[in-house]
Amino acid sequence: MITLTDSAIAAIKFALSQTCEPADGLRIKVEAGGCSGFKYHLGLDRESRDGDAVIEAGGVKVYVDSASQPHVSGMTVDFTTGVDSPGFIFENPNARENCACGKSFG
């Protein structure tokens, strides 16, 4: 469903190691909003929920709720430390258009 690059896996592992709250993985959710109609919402979570897809790669887990799954199917998640736009990068084949910020799509 989702492919994580080595950089994304390393970033998730780092985030999990730094959190004060117990967390077992990263949750990716698609919400209405953003410049192009939808936006990605990321957060650490302690466990999967009913209906979640659980993606395991490189020793990390990613949780995707059932409503978000059609929007992210086939997506690749990368992470960059570049000065122009540090953070997660989403290469989403389901996006008809992407905002310049890289965090929302339509």
Mean pLDDT of the chain: 89
Q: Which domains occur in the chain, in start order?
A: 1-89 (2.60.300.12)
Tell me the per-residue pLDDT of 6-16, one tens digit each, with 9 for 90 and over: 999 999 999 99
Q: Is 32 strand, coil or helix?
A: strand
DSSP E strands: which ranges in the chain? 2-4, 25-33, 37-45, 53-57, 60-64, 75-80, 87-91, 104-105
User: Can you give the pTM of this predicted structure?
Assistant: 0.87
Number of helices (H), then strands (E), belonging to the chain: the values are 2, 8
Query: Nearest Cα to 23, choosing from 49, 65, 61?
Result: 61
| Structure token digits, residue 45 | 């979570």
Q: How far is CA 12 from CA 34, 35, 51, 52, 95, in A?
A: 23, 26, 22, 18, 23
> What confidence tens digit (pLDDT) does each residue in 62-74 have?
999 999 999 999 9
